Structure 1
Amino acid sequence: MRTDKRVAFTFDDTPHDAGVFFTPDERTATLVGQLADAGVEQAGFFVVVGDLQQPRGVGGEDRIRAYTAAGHVLGSHSYRHPRLEETSAEDFLADVDRAAGWFVGREGARPWFRFPFLDEGDADPHKRTTVRKALAERGLQNAYVTVLTLDWYLDALVAQTVREGRPYDRRALRDLYVESLLEPAEFYDRLAVAAIGRSPVHVVLLHENDLNTLFIADAARAFRVAGWDIVPIDEAYRDPIASIEPEGWCGSGRVSALALDSKKIRPGGLDLEVLETPVMLRSFERRVTARQTAKGLPMKSSSAEGDSL
């Protein structure tokens, strides 16, 4: 039965290096199977093209072909993953162009570009306008997200726990992971309804990592139980909000930016506690590792993209 709430899944930082649970080849095979079992017909994978030349990218083209053979599609996540804030517009666009050649004639390729770190140049309106215009001239659509998550941070927490040989509760980890996707999705949907008067097709920001590979099927089932339809990413980027370039801060996703533009939401109303890394760390320690401290990991505040995006 169709509902008003629709969502698509996307995975950044393809190709990813080995994790604590899977080799890169094992991860791809397992993730393809988990998405199929969950009835996710088409997810988006965003490729950092330069990583194909690095050790983490060995065999990456074969793994990417496995995703597209299963019906999933590809977008660009740049060549070397630069922050626009720290890069001139000219150098940033040169990086975009360097990555673009890899997608020509590629099965499953879409004319989509996802900004690394979701950094669209918000701090410099002139640079942002310059880059937006240049991307449009290249026929590239902004592959925005609407739902931020801390999957990258939770993946790092469990990886460190495993490497240190400390015990953890796998079922509790699964439950925390599922909540860490579903709660932001519900939050951003309420925000969208308040700001633009309707529920758009949402785009969830995830990464091609071990945590998502382990539990994406569980998350998909939970979304459906909560009344969501899981739709192809192609459908998501046909939503009317895809044609809007917000003036608000885009680093927290398109819905947040549109909410700022609408003037209907106070800035504090854009904050979600579950997306604060100290909150996630406390939940992980309390629920998953029985209060054992995960040492040495960064505690960032309100940075759903993280260092590795």
Structure 2
Amino acid sequence: MFLPSLLLAIILFAFWPTENATSETVPLPPPVTMSDKRIAFSFDDAPRGAGAFLEPDERPKLLIEALQTAGIEQAVFFINPGRITAYDHDAADIAAYAKAGHVLANHTAKHSKLSSVTVATFLADVDAAEVWLKDKPNYRPWFRFPFLDEGRTNRTKRDAVRAGLKQRGLMNGYVTVDASDWYLEDMAISAAKAGKLMDWNALRDLFVESYVESAEFSDDLARRTLDRAPVQMILLHETDLAAMFVDDLAAALKRQGWTIVPADEAYRDPIANMEPDVDFADGTRTQMLAAERNIGNRWYKRNDQKVAKKLFAARVLRD
């Protein structure tokens, strides 16, 4: 054991830089830096209502526990207060998210779709949500468009709502990472109703894999578009699948070198204040910025429902 150690010491000494050594003769390694792959978590459509797999009040409790297990100290929940009634526990569940350290923001009261309603109707729905939200603990003046629909091809409508949000002091709560978890849940619900057997481990793996791939795709797209790595914002929904799998997703992202950061940090990133001027205002912030700059390959393939349906059938249902 002694001889190899001695030889190692001799080798290290022989190549150790002296006071007269220069960078030409002894190249120095690059400095060690932390990964610039940062990501924050968000959940739309709270309260979402009963799912197919968990009891109505079981989901928020499980989701809060999963976020704690995952080390996600501050996610943002985009709230639809119009879904809250006096006959459910939704208000208490949302208060529990805030009490656990997460923040609350505006998603309209009734989940209006901008391309389908007038500007006045849409902004009235925004205002109705603000009335409910503004005095709640951990409220943030952020707004997320339902369906990520910012007016689509109607620039006049898009610009009018952008101006309306600014007048109200609301910032657009951008998204960069999406893998259509709502569609995975829809397919799982349909399969359960049809009495089909599902491989739950395969469903978890498909859920996690799709979002990790989407994060990597958006990271690459952002670097190609902006020449830097902004904080990514992942879009999930307050679903049963999210409650069951978010801790697995967080662990997988960390294995891929991602650092999970608070929503507050994400919305301090300069990308949060960018307003892409595109022909079709619908989708993630990175997609629209890439379209504005004519960057190709900007659509994550698993958001195509045909692709997602085929993967679900093959892996979860084993059809």
TM-score by length of 1: 0.90
User: In the alignment, does 2:63 pair up with 1:31?
Assistant: yes
Other-structure match for 1:219: 249
The SS at the match of 1:45 is strand
- The residue identity in structure 2 corresponding to 1:89 is V
What SS is found at the alignment partner of 1:63?
helix
Aligned to 2:268: 238
Query: What is the total number of aligned residue pairs between the two structures?
Result: 286
Structure ID, larger Rg: 2
For 2:52 and 2:119, the matched residues in 1 are separated by: 37
1:206 to 211, 215, 236: 236
Equivalent residue number for residue 22 of structure 1: 54
* Distance in 2 between residues matched to 1:218 and 1:54, nearest whole Å: 34
Q: CA deviation at 1:156?
A: 1.2
**1:153-184 CA-partner distances (Å, limit 9, x unpaired):** 11111122223332111111111010111111
Establish whether residue 63 from structure 1 lines up as the match of residue 93 from structure 2. Answer: yes
Partner of 1:282: 310
Check conservation: 2:75, 2:102, Cα contact below 8 A.
yes
Paired with 1:275 and 1:134, the residues of 2 have a C-alpha distance of: 30
Deviation of 1:20 after TM superposition, in Å, equals: 2.1
The reply to whether residue 164 of structure 1 matches residue 190 of structure 2 is no
Q: Counterpart amino acid of 1:47?
A: I
In the alignment, residue 278 of structure 1 is paired with which amino acid? K
Q: Show structure 2 runs of 5+ residues with no match.
A: 1-32
**Given the superposition, is the C-alpha separation of residues 203 and 54 from structure 1 closer, same or farther in structure 2, using an over 3 Å criterion?**
farther
How far 1:256 sits from its partner (Å)? 0.8
Matched, 1:134 2:164: yes
Match of 2:302, as an amino acid? V
Q: d(CA) in 2 for partners of 1:106 and 1:2? A: 36
- Is the Cα–Cα contact under 8 Å of residues 287 and 299 in structure 2 kept in the other structure? no
The answer to whether the Cα contact below 8 Å between 2:51 and 2:240 also exists between their aligned partners in 1 is yes
Q: What is the CA RMSD across the aligned residues, in angstroms?
A: 1.4
Q: CA deviation at 1:104?
A: 2.1
Counterpart amino acid of residue 281 in structure 1: K
In structure 1, what is the equivalent of residue 286 of structure 2? Answer: 255
Instruction: Give the superposition deviation at 1:54.
Output: 8.4
5+ residue gaps, structure 1: 292-309
- The C-alpha deviation readout for 1:6-26, integer Å capped at 9, x for no partner, is 111111110011112211210
Residue 205 of structure 1 aligns to a residue whose secondary structure is: strand
2:210 is the counterpart of 1:175: no
Over residues 125-154 of structure 1, what are the superposed CA-to-partner deviations in whole Å (9 max), with x where a residue is unaligned? 111111111110110010110112210011
Partners of 1:79 and 1:196 in 2: how far apart?
A: 34
User: Using the alignment, how far apart are the partners of 2:181 and 2:236 within structure 1?
Assistant: 6
